Structure 1
């Protein structure tokens, strides 16, 4: 399909040129740090899966060699994109190495006395394996004796089977360390709202965009996410104390739990032997998200700031190098202390200033417009720029955390839904043609925010209006070209692409290891989410469910259109009793079997009213993997 993207408009070119005078581009420290310790890069152009599909393309960003930003990319973002293009094996300090540019995240390798400790093995097994092979090409070939997951996001555990096997863990040859609550948070985030999050992530990371000056140039924390096999091996050891010291293969590590910060389950690590501090993803070379635009629970910037302050107080005077799970390290005690203090102050400001303004009665959008940037001199620090999180959406997230979605204006208590509101609005404004004529004039003046807002109404009133779709695409594209924030750029440009070309239907599905990690309780919670309440309202039932291999019982109740369950209970007079093995349940979760098929071939045994069990299965909803976003979404 031909490229339908368009060049930057004069207003966008002027906007982007203006950025060159706003920030300290003459400061080259980050480029020096990004190159420091470089050993070698990958010997090849691609990493592939067994089936031949490309998992990671090292050539994809070759267009970013020029220091001068093209007109279609914000110069500040272009700078970050070039920094994130430093790829290969790097030495952080004595016995600590880092693989960068193989995925969204970094894989850290610590040399123990007899083997290796792998920290955060990337998103997928193929790139993790390639990263370890690169290390072995330049360092002694020693076995992996431990893996550490710093937190519960997939880019920090998904590649684990590229560096170790389950057999090695089960035999005791390898230990796996993680913060308390890791498995629960890992599974729950990927299950309850998984289909919606995966769809929205396509916008956030720009995975469906072409790589290039008019397309995806970066993902903020790294270049993008690999497309290989996501795996998971459960931890053997949980870190549960606020500060906990372990010696692993001769390496002393002090773990600092930081729950509720960037992830619900997260921890920093300190290596006293080398005065090295790992801050996981609690501090990056940019502003992070209080609420990621792919969707998640709102994070707590107050506690995030508190733990960064604790880290600074405890390790700031004892660290010569700071490294993390994204970007490049920071060297030098003074630099580390300033960096941690800036990151601490950044999240404290977002929290406290939002609360100050909301207590004056300002609404989320008022606050976002009022707080244009961080205070000076923090706004001039490259490690506090809006590359991944942004001041605009982070302050709205803080408002949401404390006050919810409602801004207290009664006019907003029960507004019309988007399509009905759009149709009435456009009708009142004289119809689509009149609106588009005015919008085109505003577009020529560079008033892209307003054009996007009003033409969106035309598109939702009439999704088949080709002129409206094209103007909206052109507008979103210019907004994307102006963005310093990678996720905003990717979202704008993905929206423009889908308005022009339609939604690309991408197969859904969950990683097998994540499905196998689902407890029966999580499975029944997922059934409850999938239950069509309108169908279920007239079909009450009680079911007992037994897992003989786990020796677990569950009492399920469908009543008032909802499904609830109690673990460790059985109904006295259930409509039916179901017996099923956990392994067969996993096959259902992976989509390799259906529950009706299990009933037919005996994998699922039913005693009592089989019609009730069949009715339950018939009332479960199926989710679309590629629902509409920039045009109205529909059920079914």
Structure 2
């Protein structure tokens, strides 16, 4: 959080994913800004290979209309870098021409019965991505323009894979193009990258993009193994690419930029992991670890490590609970009072609700919005409607301080939901 977080987020969005079709080598195009995610078009002898398909059917169609400036060949092959819907949502636009759809197998199996959480994931995902916000409220989705389904520009239209790769590495020649497909779990367990050796180009999916990655999604979900993500970045760097094409934000062009940026990106993530584990091993509680973990000075202000999507704090918390579980070692927390009982006792100790009202007003006036939120929750637990109103005000004050689009969306969407109830 910074004083002008919203301003920093807007500035990032104006440069990170311009609407463009960039020909990065003969017959290879990196498409940015046409959807929330990127796509890569590879021209074969008689057809096109499409790596990812944008987030909606309409946007995929618009992309291909623009591509006709360069080629009129049909899309016959689709390769998904991973299973997130913003990378697969446009695939249905190619159902008349596509003959094979390749995906990577999931190296991190989904927990049994996860489907029973569909409703809560729906609510929290909607808030994280700002789907119910208007354009003025949402601005963008952090690492790309708003998804088509959020702005009436098409819908998810999925085609199922015809082949799921289970090997760690697969060599293929498709319409005269030699590709190496390599499993590289990171943001998802089914992530992989595509290496074009002859051109020195690597398509990395979402294991790298130009800001702090979503190492832990606030919508919820299984732990994204940060150590394995670092291993996958090491694997990517071992290919000595001249050009790296990410699934969001702009390409890395030239061996020097690839080496520097990917190296710093990998080292920053690894540093947070190791510092977190060290703090945990010293017996620190999670909030104490959050307070002491920071990037080395030479990494702190790099533009491609800005917290416009994920944050270091969320990363630390995810690592902490993944390795040690929910218990922080303090016996007070083994059987804490439930939140309602705690609120009643705290209000009795404070003496009156009026004192809480006054403290909330002072917190809102002084800019200590987190304190206002916590005090509002005391009132909400004792079913005082003033708690809802003060929480709405604090959420809307807090949102402009956020550089992360995800947290900004969540504050605003939650405030809107509270106001409706």
TM-score category of the 2 structures, normalised to the smaller one: over 0.9
Asked if the contact 1:145/1:249 (under 8 Å) is kept, the reply is no
CA distance in 2, matches of 1:229, 1:439: 42
Map of 1:464 onto structure 2: 385
* Deviations 1:234-267, CA, capped at 9 Å, x for gaps: 32223232222111111111112113x1101111
Residue in structure 2 matching 1:217, options 139, 147, 165: 139
Asked if the contact 2:17/2:249 (under 8 Å) is kept, the reply is no
Asked if the contact 1:439/1:451 (under 8 Å) is kept, the reply is yes
Unpaired segments ≥5 residues, structure 1: 1-11, 17-72, 504-636
* Deviations 1:394-446, CA, capped at 9 Å, x for gaps: 10000011011221222222223333332332233223221010221122222
CA distance in 2, matches of 1:279, 1:265: 13
C-alpha displacement of 1:222:
0.9
1:262 aligns with 2:187: yes
* Deviations 1:276-305, CA, capped at 9 Å, x for gaps: 111111011011122200111011111111
Cα gap change, 1:417/1:223 in structure 2, threshold over 3 Å: closer, same or farther?
farther
Cα gap change, 1:272/1:365 in structure 2, threshold over 3 Å: closer, same or farther?
same
1:497 aligns with 2:421: no
Map of 2:32 onto structure 1: 100
CA distance in 1, matches of 2:52, 2:113: 18
Asked if the contact 2:108/2:190 (under 8 Å) is kept, the reply is no
Could you say what secondary structure the match of 1:89 adopts?
strand
Map of 1:401 onto structure 2: 322
CA distance in 1, matches of 2:35, 2:383: 40
1:80-159 map, 5 Å: 80-84=12-16, 86-136=18-68, 138-159=69-90
CA distance in 1, matches of 2:41, 2:120: 34
Asked if the contact 2:243/2:258 (under 8 Å) is kept, the reply is yes
Q: How many residues align?
A: 417
CA distance in 1, matches of 2:157, 2:140: 24
Asked if the contact 2:108/2:189 (under 8 Å) is kept, the reply is no
C-alpha displacement of 1:347:
1.8
Map of 1:15 onto structure 2: 3
1:242 aligns with 2:168: yes
Map of 1:196 onto structure 2: 120
Asked if the contact 1:152/1:182 (under 8 Å) is kept, the reply is no
CA distance in 1, matches of 2:55, 2:108: 16
Normalised to the residue count of structure 2, the TM-score between the two structures is 0.92
C-alpha displacement of 1:494:
1.8
Residue in structure 1 matching 2:106, options 170, 181, 188: 181
Residue in structure 2 matching 1:205, options 129, 133, 136: 129
Could you say what secondary structure the match of 1:377 adopts?
helix
* Structure with max Cα Rg: 1
Asked if the contact 1:92/1:98 (under 8 Å) is kept, the reply is yes
Could you say what secondary structure the match of 1:262 adopts?
coil
Cα gap change, 1:183/1:282 in structure 2, threshold over 3 Å: closer, same or farther?
closer
Map of 1:550 onto structure 2: none
* Deviations 1:316-335, CA, capped at 9 Å, x for gaps: 2xx22111111110111010
C-alpha displacement of 1:190:
8.0
After superposing the two structures, state which structure 1 stretch, 215-224 or 388-397, moved more. 215-224
1:444-483 map, 5 Å: 444-465=365-386, 468-483=387-402
Residue in structure 1 matching 2:254, options 332, 336, 355: 332
Could you say what secondary structure the match of 1:491 adopts?
helix
Map of 1:347 onto structure 2: 269
Could you say what secondary structure the match of 2:195 adopts?
strand
Asked if the contact 2:28/2:40 (under 8 Å) is kept, the reply is yes
Asked if the contact 1:203/1:495 (under 8 Å) is kept, the reply is yes
1:452-601 map, 5 Å: 452-465=373-386, 468-499=387-418, 501-502=419-420
Q: Highest relative contact order (Cα 8 Å, sep 6+), 1 or 2?
A: 2
Could you say what secondary structure the match of 2:364 adopts?
helix
Map of 2:10 onto structure 1: 78
Asked if the contact 1:103/1:226 (under 8 Å) is kept, the reply is yes
Could you say what secondary structure the match of 1:278 adopts?
strand
Could you say what secondary structure the match of 2:30 adopts?
strand
Could you say what secondary structure the match of 2:3 adopts?
helix
Asked if the contact 1:178/1:235 (under 8 Å) is kept, the reply is yes
CA distance in 2, matches of 1:423, 1:217: 39
C-alpha displacement of 1:489:
1.2
C-alpha displacement of 1:181:
3.2
More helix by share: 2
* Deviations 1:484-543, CA, capped at 9 Å, x for gaps: 1111111122222233x315xxxxxxxxxxxxxxxxxxxxxxxxxxxxxxxxxxxxxxxx
Cα gap change, 1:333/1:268 in structure 2, threshold over 3 Å: closer, same or farther?
same
1:276 aligns with 2:201: yes
Residue in structure 1 matching 2:224, options 299, 306, 310: 299
Residue in structure 2 matching 1:288, options 197, 209, 213: 213
Residue in structure 2 matching 1:320, options 238, 242, 251: 242
* Deviations 1:174-200, CA, capped at 9 Å, x for gaps: 111111239976x98983422211210
Could you say what secondary structure the match of 2:78 adopts?
strand
